[in-house]
Structure 1
Amino acid sequence: MSIAEQNSNLVIRRCNAEDVEEMKAFLKECITVNKYIYGEYDWMEFPLEDATYETFQETFGTGNLLLGLEDDVLQGIVVLTKKSAEKYKHVGNITLALRTDEHVSTMGKELIARMILVCKGKGVIRKVNLRVREDHFKIQEIYKNLGFYEEGSLARDVCQNGMFFSTLLYGRSID
Structure 2
Amino acid sequence: MMKKNNIQVSLRTGDLDDAEAVLEIQREVVSENEFMISVSEEFEETTEQQRSWIQKILENKRETIIVAEIKGKVIGLIVFRSKNNKRIAHTGYFTTMVKKDYRDMGIGKLLIKELLNWAEQNPFIEKVSLGVLSTNQRAIALYKSVGFVEEGRKIKEVKFSDDLYVDDILMYKLV
TM-score (norm 2): 0.82
How far apart in 1 are the matches of 2:3 and 2:15?
Answer: 25
Aligned residue number for residue 172 of structure 2: 171
Structure 1 stretch displaced more, 121-130 or 66-75: 66-75
- Alignment RMSD: 2.6
Contact 2:66 2:79 in 1 (8 A): yes
- In the TM superposition, residue 45 of structure 1 has moved relative to its aligned partner by 7.2
Cα 1:102–1:19, aligned 2, differ >3 Å: closer, same or farther? closer
Identical-residue share of aligned pairs (%): 19
Aligned residue number for residue 6 of structure 1: 3
- In the TM superposition, residue 104 of structure 1 has moved relative to its aligned partner by 5.2
Report the count of equivalent residues.
167
Which amino acid in the other structure matches residue 5 of structure 1? Answer: M
TM-score (norm 1): 0.82
Aligned residue runs from structure 1 range 71-150, under 5 A: 71-100=71-100, 103=103, 106-150=106-150
- In the TM superposition, residue 47 of structure 1 has moved relative to its aligned partner by 4.3
1:158 and 2:158 are equivalent in the alignment: yes
Structure 2 stretches of 5 or more lacking a match?
none
Structure 1 stretch displaced more, 159-168 or 129-138: 159-168
Considering Cα pairs closer than 8 Å and 6+ residues apart, tell me whether 1 or 2 has the greater RCO: 1
Contact 1:133 1:166 in 2 (8 A): yes
Cα 1:78–1:87, aligned 2, differ >3 Å: closer, same or farther? same
Which amino acid in the other structure matches residue 57 of structure 1? Answer: Q
| Secondary structure of 2:135's aligned partner | coil
